[in-house]
Amino acid sequence: MKRRKLSAEETALIENWSSHLPPAISRRAVRYFIGGAVSPNVLCNNDSKGTGPKGAFRLGRDIMYPAKELLIWLAETRGLAVLTGLRSLDGVIDLSGGKAVPLPPWRRTEVNGRSAASE
């Protein structure tokens, strides 16, 4: 995939989104946080070619990507249309204002009728 220079609109969008995401995203969790815009296999293949997101590092058995670098890589390789169509961010992150990101699904389990988030 050929990289291209980002526009001011794309840069502003990336800055806004990266402030709402965790600092680093594992390759396994990329579908949850990035909404299926890219699969873990695509990231693995691009990493092996040396064309993946910058700043990737290993944490135990997981490969982690800085969230901002992952969004930059997506915009450079796939364009703004992919970034604006991310499904996981729709309703999860208010791109205009700054609502907090809700707990991931594995933290939203109910115990005795109460959410784990309320404890």
29-50 residue pLDDT tens: 888 887 777 889 999 999 999 9
- Give the domain ranges of the chain: 8-92
Q: Return the pLDDT at 87.
A: 52
Q: Return the pLDDT at 118.
A: 47
| pLDDT beyond 60 at 93 | no
DSSP codes of every residue in the chain: ----PPPHHHHHHHHHHHTTS-SEEESTTHHHHHTTSS-HHHHHHHHHHT-S-TT-EEETTEEEEEHHHHHHHHHHHH-HHHHHT-TTTTTTS-TTT-PPPPPPGGG--EETTEEGGG-
| pLDDT beyond 50 at 115 | no
Region 14-41: what's the mean pLDDT?
A: 85
pTM score of the predicted model:
0.67
Q: Return the pLDDT at 91.
A: 47
